[in-house]
Chains A and B, each alone.
Chain A
Amino acid sequence: MKVLTNPALCVGADLPAWLAAGGGTGLSHALAEPDAIIPLLEAAGLRGLGGAGFPTHRKWASVAAQPGPERWIICNGNEDEPGTFKDRFLLAEAPHQVIEGALIAAVAVKAAQVVLYVNPREDTAVRACRAAVDAWMAHPLAEAVSAAIGARLALRVMESSGLYIGGEETGAVSSVMGGFPFPRLKPPFPVEHGVGDAPTLINNVETLAQATHILWHGAEWYRALGLGDAVGTKLYSLSGDVLRPGLHELPMGTPLRELVFGQGGGMLAGKAFKAVFTGGPSNTLLTAADLDVPLDFENVRARGSRLGTGAMIVVGEGTSILRKTAEYVAFFAASSCGQCPSCKIGTHQVSRILERLESGAGRVDDLTALENLARMLPGSGRCGLVDGAATVLASSLATFRQEYEAALPSD
């Protein structure tokens, strides 16, 4: 069942069309009974869909429990990781369900400052969001939200830096405050000390969009959408060596095989399936032995990997794992913000060795050096960037060592 990508709801920035299609119902429910919002999310079992999978109600409750008058909400639409392309779709095609989710959150945690934090490289999304925000601010519902919060709602679009690290929570806070999106050590977490030191709720675009539907249709409805123990639907960004790449909204818990061979139309040119890099792409690889894994937080974690953003980059026979890993590590190296030499230089060094292997100038010792870096780098930075690079490296090296060895000169 299509929820977020339901064609009837993809009305762009047209607010009357959104309301005519049933939009606004969730927000009305929220306004009618603000104290019921967070328990409802808990009952629905909504979790952060930007990658971490942290229970959403706990985050909202933490912010709601903070003292002081000022609170912020950042709707995180920075989305910059390779292979992930879900948020840009939602923001461009159905921004109202996202904004409504953000307003529900504003009511729930009593935050007057709401920021749609959007990657400027997605100009259609930016345009749609601006138009949508203008429409909301001119609508009486905005007044109602202000009244519920007890302060004048300030809803606006802010272009992010477009840099990968700007998607990290503390990086987003720094960016919203007008600075460079430098991540910082946590704790303290933004729920306590965020924008201008005020409690700040940061949720991914997809998470907030789901909140809209939960408030609209109820927790039971949402839970029933998932397969097995999983709840709701998930946007999977499918790419790589499949016949039909693209954005697929499927029940949370859909098996990997169904995504690749059903929805994805199977492997491109009939090539054998090798592996999947999960978004984004900073996790342990899923391999043929994992085709049966239900794609939800718990089951993917049980295979030693993580669902991440729901990006699934499929690699078939004929595509080099070494090549792809080199590509992703190079992305992390280029994206590293520079604060931590272990991250910037560590990822550069990994990148350098991978390039060397690829160019046929590798040495046996290079594999040992890579394993060493994969062990020593995790946890050595202020944020998780270096961990992601180390994880994808360690995983590809452990699972596809023969590809690394094949790249070594024959004598």
Chain B
Amino acid sequence: MSAGISFPEALAAWAAAAPAPERDCTLPVPELLKIFHPDHRAGGMVTLAAGASAGTACPVELAALLQSDALLEDVDLAGTHILDADVLILGGGGAGCVAALAAARAGARVLIAAKLRLGDGNTVMAEGGIQAAIGAEDSLQRHFEDTLRAGHFAADKAVVAALVEDGPDAIRWLIQQGMSFDLTDERQRMGGTLLRKKPGGATAARLLSYRDFTGLEMMRALREAVLLQPGIAVLDRHPAVELLTDDRGRCGGAVLQDLGRGRLVLARAGATVLATGGAGRLHLAGFPTSNHYGATADGLVLAYRAGARLREMDSFQYHPTGIAWPGHLEGMLVSEAARSAGARLINGRGERFVAELAPRDVVASAMLREMVEGRGIVRDGQLGLFLDTPSLEREQPGILQKRLQTLSHLAHRAGIDPAGEPFMVRPTLHYQNGGVAIDSRARTSLPGLLAAGEVTGGLHGRNRMMGNALLELVVFGRRAGAMAAVDARQERPRNLGLNHLAGWRRGLLAAGLGLEGKGPLLFPSYGNITAAALKGRAA
């Protein structure tokens, strides 16, 4: 990272210049993104040379995994423990739980396999809210157009239409699962109105929430529903290490690694739902991340290797305000609510440099520009910018305690008083905009494989709107689960095994890529354990 302005000097500049003057930022948005957004960094992207999406761009770190060889050989499957189900769900976060519920309620016997523990994913960490067009002034059409526009018109219209059409029903479904939402008046539980906020880039107030921990409220209702749903068996600590395919290329389950017993499990199923989430823990371009520990792109790797097509794999969302200092909290989110409430971003010279409520990719790029051009702030070796919470508190006394509780809690853990000292923030790797391409019924291009949640591609285009991630996991989780239950009633896969591997390896060799790299990763490098070392070993 480039050098910057020392913390004491920056603090003095900030204190001297209140209100902060605006720096003249003349760079047009397309150029700003092109030069400073991490998606466009020099040498950051490569073109995939093998697989169903060969020829498309992808971050270097992810490409290495996507174009890797399997951890398994056919002989490893001899003598493995076998489990049979109608529907196998890979991933125990929000999307996986919703899909499991939908499939089981459609009559399928469901197996849900989580790498960590059921619920310990990104869903539980979501703070902001969930979009659904329910306001009288709002409409499904507006939600549809807002989503397309925010995604730079790169999204699949049919998929986006499915997303917004199911939105209101998804909220009803969530309430039926026992999830609460904030109301405009808490006393009006019957016949009242839901509290709505306006997400960045939206033309109407459409963001529904539960306090500032919407994801937690959602996840605990979903987890409970899954645990109590007859017909669902839960496997914690069972990451998938390879998909199973039949001799016609159809997906028929997965090979799981039972971490607790150090053995492989062959989970055979009529249909498989991929709900493995994102890739933040790959730390693209060395960025910190707001993602949970298990976000290592495993599902992308498995699906791609088995033949599924990916899309917008070169597009990631960097949340503008991750913690920059202290180091031990680096990457953790300071909710967008702070900027929504009016908190400004300030550089080392005490200047404002961006419209804080511009789309996330624009704000993040503007921040990175400040940091690259030497106007960042250095504290204990950590580079960042100020989020001016003291001025916010001065302008709206009491706001930190009343409306930004999670932020205040975070400040406490950082050891600062947010009313007296600004936060040190910097962009943090937050969301994978693209992923495994799906259609409106949650089908991937690989027969027998459905997908839901962050692992999918097509509905956010090149930039995701706040609140569409929680909606997506519900809408496509339900669609994937229901569709999987139907698919599972069709002809069963035959001659299941690692049928796709030979062709995959030939493809890698033909593209001049070796077979040295192995995937999936399962755990980040600083987890001090590799997937290869876990093979056949209890952990």
Contact = CB atoms under 8 A, between A and B. Distances in A.
The answer to whether A and B touch directly, with their CB atoms under 8 angstroms apart, is yes
Interface of A: 356, 360-363, 409, 411
Interface string B375-410: 000000000000000000000000000000000000
Nearest to B539: A363
A409 B260 CA distance: 12
B261 interface: yes
A356 B260 CA distance: 9
B21 interface: no
A361 B262 CA distance: 8
A411 B536 contact: yes
Which DSSP category, helix, strand, loop or mixed, fits chain B's interface? loop
Nearest to B260: A361
A361 B261 contact: yes
B261 A411 contact: no
Report, as a range, how many residues of chain B touch the other chain.
under 10
A361 B260 CA distance: 7
B527 to A, nearest CB: 14
A360 B260 CA distance: 10
B227 interface: no
Contacts of B260: 356, 361
A407 to B, nearest CB: 12
Contacts, number: 13
Interface string B131-145: 000000000000000
Interface string B257-278: 0001110000000000000000
A409 B258 CA distance: 14
B537 interface: yes
A411 B539 CA distance: 12
Nearest to B536: A411
B528 to A, nearest CB: 12
Contacts of B539: 363
Interface of B: 260-262, 536-539
Contacts of A409: 262, 538
Contacts of A411: 536-537
Contacts of A361: 260-262, 538
A356 B261 CA distance: 9
Taking each of B260, B261, B536, B537, which has the highest tally of chain A beta carbons within 10 Å of its own beta carbon?
A: B261
Contacts of B261: 360-361
Nearest to A408: B538
13 contacts: A356-B260, A360-B261, A361-B260, A361-B261, A361-B262, A361-B538, A362-B538, A363-B538, A363-B539, A409-B262, A409-B538, A411-B536, A411-B537
A363 B539 CA distance: 7
A411 B535 CA distance: 11
A361 B261 CA distance: 5
Nearest to A360: B261
Contacts of A360: 261
A363 B538 CA distance: 6
Contacts of A356: 260
Taking each of B536, B537, B538, which has the highest tally of chain A beta carbons within 10 Å of its own beta carbon?
A: B538
Nearest to B537: A411
Contacts of A363: 538-539
Nearest to A361: B261
Closest 7 CB pairs of A and B: A363-B538, A361-B261, A361-B260, A361-B538, A409-B538, A411-B536, A409-B262
A55 to B, nearest CB: 51
A360 to B, nearest CB: 8
Nearest to A359: B261
A409 B261 CA distance: 9
A363 B529 CA distance: 14
Nearest to B261: A361
Given A362-B538, A409-B262, 6 more contacts: A356-B260, A361-B260, A361-B261, A361-B538, A363-B538, A363-B539
A251 to B, nearest CB: 51
B128 to A, nearest CB: 34
B28 to A, nearest CB: 56
A201 B262 CA distance: 55
Nearest to A363: B538
A360 B539 CA distance: 13
A234 to B, nearest CB: 46
Contacts of B538: 361-363, 409
A409 B262 CA distance: 9
B118 to A, nearest CB: 18
A349 to B, nearest CB: 15
A374 B247 CA distance: 54
A108 B538 CA distance: 62
A362 B260 CA distance: 8
A361 B537 CA distance: 10
A356 B237 CA distance: 15
A362 B538 CA distance: 7
A362 to B, nearest CB: 7
Nearest to B538: A363
A410 to B, nearest CB: 11
A411 B537 CA distance: 7
Nearest to B258: A361
A314 B354 CA distance: 78
Contacts of B537: 411
Taking each of A356, A360, A363, which has the highest tally of chain B beta carbons within 10 Å of its own beta carbon?
A: A363
Nearest to A366: B538
A351 B262 CA distance: 21
B261 to A, nearest CB: 5
B264 to A, nearest CB: 14
Contacts of B262: 361, 409
B260 to A, nearest CB: 6
A356 B262 CA distance: 13
B460 to A, nearest CB: 41
B81 to A, nearest CB: 12
A411 B261 CA distance: 12
B357 to A, nearest CB: 45
A367 to B, nearest CB: 13
Nearest to B262: A409
A360 B262 CA distance: 11
A361 B81 CA distance: 14
